């Protein structure tokens, strides 16, 4: 309704000529709440940066530096701490009550320190590190991807359960670095859309790149234990877990790209509906802090948000 009154309203429908640029993050957000995706695309952000985001950025940086040979094994922990500090300076950081900045730093240093041995055991030679791919998936519709790591196996990869060889020397392998309180489950590893998009991007580009089609993909998961003191015994649980290797089928890929086209169509139609869910575990639950945009949705207030220049409250709510 507002669209007729306010042409700057960010949830207006747009025509078919409008170029929609998606990313795996946007598609995953669309599965949770289209309204939240609308704010994300409009670059409306909470003023506070989540500590987990700073942590992940600093850890990705030392990992890239190590793989490229720019950071020595012995410097990983120290340089993680330095980057974690640099990325935190001057920012309002939001964090869980149970995990202080100091605790998070200790966990990051441990994971950074352990990464070289973990990576060495994988037996992968880097082909692409933090590589940007862009795919055209329909008229004026694109997906942009940044893949953490594509490598080539320098030794056979063996399935730990069956003992079968699941990748030969020279095969192409895709990895995404993840950190979380628990290792991903088998179902998530098998069907994660993020890896499905990565798989197809590498498959489509493999001839151009002169590499084999992807053989395996997976998450390299660094565990962040729940602990509240820097000298907690739980620090021993901050470890890199064995990769749960998976593949993607044509059916997986077709489903993932159909979904992406569906998200693009909803964006064009201006379908930025909220997802209340059926109970209190919904994306709209403001008690648990699950929704980053509760203030905007609930009160129409822009306090606590970074709003791109030119937008007024009337454009956003």
Partner 1 sequence: MTDEIQVVSVPSLWEEPSSEAFESAKANFLAGDDDDHFKVEEKNSEDPVF
Neighbours of 286 (CB within 10 A): 12
To the nearest whole angstrom, how small is the minimum distance from the Cβ of residue 245 to partner 1?
22
Neighbours of 180 (CB within 10 A): 13
Name the residue nearer to partner 1 (CB basis): 46 or 242: 46
To the nearest whole angstrom, how small is the minimum distance from the Cβ of residue 84 to partner 1?
11
Backbone angles phi and psi of 144, in degrees to 5:
-105, 135
To the nearest whole angstrom, how small is the minimum distance from the Cβ of residue 227 to partner 1?
24
Name the residue nearer to partner 1 (CB basis): 235 or 253: 253
To the nearest whole angstrom, how small is the minimum distance from the Cβ of residue 126 to partner 1?
5
204 in Cβ contact with 248 (< 8 Å):
no
Q: Provide the token pair at 17.
A: 């000529």
225 in Cβ contact with 235 (< 8 Å):
yes
Backbone angles phi and psi of 243, in degrees to 5:
-75, 135
Name the residue nearer to partner 1 (CB basis): 142 or 191: 142
To the nearest whole angstrom, how small is the minimum distance from the Cβ of residue 178 to partner 1?
12
113-to-18, 61, 133, 225 alpha-carbon distances in Å? 46, 13, 30, 16
Can you give the binding site for partner 1, defined by CB under 8 A? 10, 19-21, 23-26, 40-43, 49, 53-54, 57, 60-61, 64-65, 68-71, 79, 83, 86-87, 91, 126-138, 142, 144-146, 200-201, 204-205, 208-211, 250, 253-254, 257-258, 308
Name the residue nearer to partner 1 (CB basis): 79 or 189: 79
Beta strands in 62-213 (DSSP E): 93-94, 124-138, 141-153, 157-158, 165-167, 172-180
Name the residue nearer to partner 1 (CB basis): 229 or 306: 306
To the nearest whole angstrom, how small is the minimum distance from the Cβ of residue 256 to partner 1?
9
Name the residue nearer to partner 1 (CB basis): 141 or 246: 141
Name the residue nearer to partner 1 (CB basis): 143 or 223: 143
Collect all residues with Cβ–Cβ distance below 8 Å to 69 and sequence separation of at least 6.
none
Q: Return d(Cα 272, Cα 38) in angstroms, integer.
A: 6
Find, among 120, 109, 102, the residue nearest to 76 by Cα.
Answer: 109
To the nearest whole angstrom, how small is the minimum distance from the Cβ of residue 176 to partner 1?
10
């Amino acid at each position: 309704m507002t669209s007729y009154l306010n042409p700057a309203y960010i949830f207006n429908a747009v025509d078919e000529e409008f170029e929609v640029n998606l990313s795996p993050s946007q598609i995953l957000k669309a599965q949770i709440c289209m309204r939240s995706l609308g704010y994300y695309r409009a670059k409306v952000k909470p003023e506070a940066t989540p500590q987990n985001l700073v942590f992940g950025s600093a850890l990705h940086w030392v990992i890239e530096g190590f793989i490229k040979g720019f950071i020595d094994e012995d410097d990983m922990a120290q340089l993680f701490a330095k980057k974690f500090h640099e990325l935190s300076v001057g920012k309002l950081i939001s964090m869980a009550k149970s995990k202080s900045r100091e605790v998070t730093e200790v966990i990051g240093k441990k994971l950074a320190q352990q990464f070289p041995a973990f990576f060495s055991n994988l037996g992968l030679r880097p082909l692409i590190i933090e590589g940007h791919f862009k795919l055209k998936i329909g008229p004026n519709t694109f997906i942009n991807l940044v893949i953490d790591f594509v490598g080539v196996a320098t030794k056979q990869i063996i399935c730990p359960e069956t003992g079968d060889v699941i990748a030969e020397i020279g095969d192409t392998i895709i990895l995404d670095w993840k950190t979380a309180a628990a290792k991903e489950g088998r179902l998530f590893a098998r069907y994660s859309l993020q890896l499905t998009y990565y798989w197809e991007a590498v498959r489509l580009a493999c001839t151009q790149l002169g590499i084999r089609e992807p053989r395996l993909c997976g998450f390299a998961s660094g565990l962040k234990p729940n602990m509240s003191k820097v000298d907690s015994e739980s620090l021993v649980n901050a470890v890199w877990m064995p990769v749960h290797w998976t593949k993607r089928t044509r059916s997986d890929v077709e489903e993932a790209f159909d979904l992406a086209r569906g998200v693009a169509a909803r964006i064009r139609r201006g379908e930025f509906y909220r997802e209340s869910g059926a109970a209190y575990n919904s994306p709209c639950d403001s008690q648990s802090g699950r929704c980053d945009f509760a203030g905007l949705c609930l009160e129409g207030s822009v306090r606590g948000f970074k709003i791109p220049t030119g937008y007024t409250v009337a454009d956003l709510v």
